Amino acid sequence: MSAQVSRKGQEITVVISQTSVATATEIEIPLGITRGRLLRIIADKTAGDASNIDPVIGIATNPQGSNIAFEQATAAATIDNQIVGGATFSTSTGSLFYRPKPDSGTNNAVTTILHILVGW
């Protein structure tokens, strides 16, 4: 499992393909920037026992509380959120941490695409 990060000017696209995803499965996304805005998240549970996923993105591992940059409001098998104005984040490490959080199983496959704008 890895995050493919591509950048063109101020626009960053991240593509993540994960297998064997469980509730606590997490991946670090090395963006190489310290401030940005998440504009869109598309996440699709493509296989496995889970019915839904409930993604969370943070600025620290196991994102909770003030470390959360984005948290899905309603779990679903397919997520497509365009965030008006973008969800801002600031991270000293240059990385984000992503958990798709399926509701069951350890055999899930999830494909996720993130659109990020550099800076605020």
Q: How far apart are CA 97 and CA 63, in angstroms?
A: 7
Average pLDDT over residues 42-46: 97
Name the CA dihedral angle for 81, 75, 59, 105, rounded to a multiple of 10 degrees.
-130
What does the pLDDT look like over 65-92, one tens digit per residue?
999 999 999 999 999 999 999 999 999 9
pTM reported for the whole predicted model = 0.95
Determine contact, residues 59/94, Cβ cutoff 8 Å: no
Torsion of CA 44, 50, 52, 53, to 10 degrees: -60
Residue 5's Cα: distance from chain center in Å?
Answer: 12
**CATH number corresponding to 2-118:** 2.60.120
Q: Is the pLDDT of residue 49 over 90?
A: yes
